[in-house]
A and B are shown apart, each in its own frame.
Chain A
Amino acid sequence: MKGYQYLLDYFENSPTIIQVLWVMIVLFIVIIIILIIYLKLLRSRLRKKEKIVVQYQNEYESYLISYLYSGNEEEEISAEQQVIVNKLKSCVPDKFKRHVVVSTLLRLRNEISGEMAESIQKLYFQTGLINYALSSLKSKKWYVVAKGIRELAQFHVKEVNAQIVIHVNNSNKEIRKEVQLYLVTLFHFEGLKFLDVLQTQLSEWDQIQLLEVLQRFDEQEIPNINKWLKSTNDSVVIFAIKLAKIYNQFEAKDTLLELLEHRQKKIRVEAIQVLSHLQVYEAKELLKNKFDKLSLEEQIAFFKLLENVFESSDESFLQEHIQNKNFEIQVSALKIFKLLNIEKFHSFKRLLLAPKDAEIIEFIENN
């Protein structure tokens, strides 16, 4: 009691700064204690949640499997299936449980096809899960919208196409990405129509994902890519070049040749690469004539092209470049020379004296 009185007196007689400091000290201690208690609660909640997720997941997994195996051909839905639908339906209003149900369905939906995949989709409708995804489209939070679109794509809900297409030029990058994936996942090449109206840039990541989805389908009937190659949106052009390469679009050859004059260097380089892949001889002559005006990247890409389409008439051009300062061009030139004129290639051994050159020649000779 006495000590307490002493502290109080000390505090009251101290200068203001010290008083402020002590108030802050007490405040900090209180905050720390509150945080410690909260941390304890948080940790046990997280632990519990993890256990429950596994438990729910196992439960829903077995529901799902028995649903899939208890269907029959006569009825739209068998009695046993109805029981399971009702059980799941009762879980769905709970946000947490709904999340686990959806992820369980998806884990299987993404891996299988055929009748069973269709059954899973049916279950998605029957349990009313679809309604939650649809209502999320109206949310103000971007990640809720994006997640909703993704879910609809994963369950192949084509019917809501119109509600999703309106987001093609949404200001949020993630939403746009999900819209694009939705369209391509469900409508394949037909879905690429969004490229006609896209105002924003497609990132490399978006492009890879779209191509990845497209490659899952067997159809090789790809739409005319010329209008995309001519797009004013540079990223659409680059994407179209990738399409041309993957699906060997010889038909687009002329438009691709035009791209060699594009104002963007990146596009010019990619155009050379795809022309090289398609082995277009015209490209060679065009580029050879203006070789000195090309940027280094284009020159390197051109030599890669030359490796595919060289002819004996290129010999004198190549000879100019067997000592090119650029390593890749030099290696390319010598490599082609070896195939074109082996005797002359051997004569270089005496010609090129620098040890670095000798090393390259020796390597090319042996490989």
Chain B
Amino acid sequence: MNTSTVQIIIFIIHFLFFVYACTAIASYIILAIISSKETIEYMKKNSFVNYKEILSSTISPSITIIAPAYNESLNIIENVRSLLSSHYVNYDVVIVNDGSKDDSLEKMIVAYDLVKVDFLINQQIPTKPIRAGVFKSTNPAFEKLTVVDKVNGGKADALNMGLNISKSDYVACIDVDCLLLENSLQKMIKPFLEVTDKTVIATGGVIRIANSCIIKDGKLLDVNFPKKLIEKAQILEYIRAFLLGRMAWSRLNGLLVISGAFGLFNKKVAIEVGGYDTNTVGEDMELIVRMRRYMEETKQKYKVAYIPDPLCWTEAPDNYKIFISQRNRWTRGTIETLRMHRKVAFNPKYKSLGLLSYPYWLFYERLAPVIEAIGIIYFIILAALNEVRWDYALAFIILAYLFAVLFSIVAIFSEELTYHQYKKKGTGFKLIMISMLEPFVLHPFILYAAIRGNMDYYFNKKKKWGEMTRKGMTKTETN
């Protein structure tokens, strides 16, 4: 190879990096603009909806909350209590005890006066069998509660059991440790009922971080801004992702992910596509992609909706170790889902799913950390060879940093103008500070975890399989 070919190759590499960076930035700007439009529209529409009027209605459609629990003995009583306090009328709660090794079941039996009942399950999705049985309460105050005790099969398997057991039209799949606000179900059901010309297959909710918030008896009393950097940075990250990112994607009807921690599904469609996949760690994303694919393939008009209201609060990891393993799992979930549905990619048959959502996820979510890592390594090599044009590098790095900060600040603004959850004096300053620090205190760990996720996925099959056999729910599942 002569020097000129090398130069051409290097030039092409540089050019690709440059194009990637520019399109990434452009996509951020476009998403921010779309999301602000959508948010304004949403706020106007909802400024005068009286949710009280539908919550009391017995003619409103039935919803089942499905909450899988694995070794949650510590908080299970409180958590169930919180789930039972929704103000929607036509709903019930199914707790799937997924082969817990602790005393979760015994505790629930005592606290909620449970007795074993005869229950005929329509096994539309195959799952691991029932263990101790199906339980209902003898106390009329808890008549909405059903507890199923089954052999351990992982989160997806537990959710599938819930899908089989539910007799409702809609199912809300949530993590048992999530705290739902009392009006969350009527807000989440609204998109399903509003449409007249298509089917809404799922509605996603926002996850808010409950660290340091005061929660008493399953009720959110006070919202606080936590002290630890990692928690603060995640709050900012969530605000950015949910208020800017997902809001825009919902406008484009291109949502690929609904938080596993809180989503409402059209049960009929979820069962028709076969329920959750038990062979992936990213079952929440995978289900949505599969449902979308199914709707496209059967040529039905559909929509995945999204409600930006802060309805679901959960604890986020408060140390780097748990944080990294969480993100590692998310990365593998994304890779697995995208691989399983490769057929969709760039396929015009799948319209915006194949031409927009999938490619975006592939390039700017799935590949972003890989490209970033390659870029960093490349930069280090150049630096070692003393080939870096430092005047350019410095200006570009500063500009990129400022753009990241600016984007975070825009996200903070959309939070303040909509939900304004962090009302306390001084929190504004803290939010600004963390938007400046986040590129240093959180982003490197996200990058590291994503790279680890890639390595584990491709080179560490044992870990992948090993995890699957003993896969339970960790407290930190939030995506």
A–B in direct contact per CB < 8 Å: yes
* A→B interface (CB under 8 Å): 14, 17-18, 21-22, 24-25, 28-29, 31-32, 35-36, 39-40, 42-43, 46-47, 50, 143, 146-147, 150, 174, 201-205, 208-209, 211-213, 235, 242, 246, 327-328, 331, 356, 359-360, 363-364, 366-367
- Of the four ranges (under 10, 10 to 19, 20 to 34, 35 or more), the interface on chain B belongs to 35 or more
Residue of B nearest to A28 (CB): B402
Closest to A45 in B: B416
The answer to whether B416 touches A203 (Cβ under 8 A) is no
Closest chain A residue, CB of each to CB of B432: A36
- In the complex, which of the residues B47, B190, B402 contacts A29, with contact meaning CB atoms closer than 8 Å? B402
Given contacts A32-B402, A203-B196, A204-B61, 11 further A-B contacts (CB under 8 A): A14-B391, A32-B405, A35-B409, A42-B413, A43-B416, A143-B45, A143-B47, A204-B194, A205-B54, A246-B59, A360-B120
Contacts of A213 in B (CB 8 A): 53
B379 within 8 A of A: no
B190 touches A208 (CB 8 A): no
Least distance between A355 CB and chain B CB atoms (Å): 11
Chain B residue numbers with a CB within 8 Å of A360 are 120
Pairwise interchain contact A28-B406, C-beta atoms closer than 8 A: yes
Give bound CA distance, A22 to B397, whole Å.
11
Specify which of A31, A32, A203, A331 is in contact with B195 (CB 8 Å cutoff): A203
B399 touches A24 (CB 8 A): yes
Closest chain B residue to A35 by CB distance?
B409
Q: Are A359 and B120 in contact (CB under 8 A)?
A: yes
Residues of B within 8 A of A47 (CB): 423, 425
User: Can you list 6 A-B contacts with CB-CB less than 8 angstroms, sorted by A residue number?
Assistant: A21-B392, A43-B427, A143-B47, A201-B196, A208-B59, A213-B53
A154: nearest chain-B partner, CB-CB: B50
Most buried by B among A21, A202, A204, A246: A204
Q: A32-B405, A47-B425, A143-B47 are in contact. Are A211 and B195 (CB under 8 A)?
A: no
* B residues in contact (CB < 8 Å) with A: 44-45, 47-48, 53-54, 56-57, 59-61, 118, 120, 122-124, 190, 192-197, 391-392, 395-396, 398-399, 402-403, 405-406, 409-410, 412-413, 416-417, 420, 423, 425, 427-429, 432
Contacts of A204 in B (CB 8 A): 61, 192-194
In whole angstroms, what is the CA distance A360 to B103 when docked?
31
Neighbouring A residues of B425 by C-beta, 8 Å: 47
Are A39 and B416 in contact, CB atoms less than 8 angstroms apart?
Answer: yes
Collect the chain B residues with CB atoms within 8 Å of residue A143's CB.
Answer: 44-45, 47-48
Q: Are the C-beta atoms of A40 and B428 separated by less than 8 Å?
A: yes
Distance of A89 from chain B, by nearest CB (Å)? 24
Nearest chain B CB to A60's CB is how many angstroms away?
Answer: 19
Given known A39-B432, A143-B45, A203-B195, contact A25–B423 (CB-CB < 8 A): no
Q: Which residues of A contact B44 (CB under 8 A)?
A: 143
Question: Which residues of the partner chain A approach B427 to less than 8 Å between Cβ atoms?
Answer: 43
Q: How far is the CA of A316 from the CA of B436 in the complex (A)?
A: 77
| Residue from the list A40, A150, A201, A209 in contact with B54, Cβ < 8 A | A209
A270 to chain B, nearest CB (A): 13
Q: A147: nearest residue on chain B (CB-CB)? A: B48
Distance in angstroms between the alpha carbons of A17 and B391 in the assembled complex: 10
B428 adjacent to A205 (CB under 8 Å): no
Closest 4 A-B residue pairs measured CB to CB? Answer: A205-B193, A201-B196, A21-B395, A204-B193
- Given A174, A201, A331, which contacts B120 in the complex, CB threshold below 8 Å? A331
Complex CA gap A43/B60 in Å reads 38
Instruction: Give the complex CA separation of A355 and B122 in angstroms.
Output: 13
Q: With A47-B425, A147-B48 as given contacts, are A327 and B402 in contact (CB-CB < 8 Å)?
A: no
Q: Which of B56, B61, B398, B403 has the most CB of A within 10 A?
A: B398
